[in-house]
Structure 1
Amino acid sequence: MKELTVEQMEEINGGLSGSAVMSCIQDAYSNHGWISVALFLETAFIPWTAAVIAADCTLHNL
Structure 2
Amino acid sequence: MTGGPSGHQPLKHTVNVAPGSTVTFDLTADAPGDWAFHCHMLMHMHAGMFNVVTVRPLDGEAA
Q: Could you state the TM-score of these two structures normalised by the residue count of structure 2?
A: 0.22
Higher relative contact order (Cα pairs below 8 Å, separated by 6+ residues):
1
- The structure where helix makes up a greater share of residues is 1
| TM-score, reference length from structure 1 | 0.22
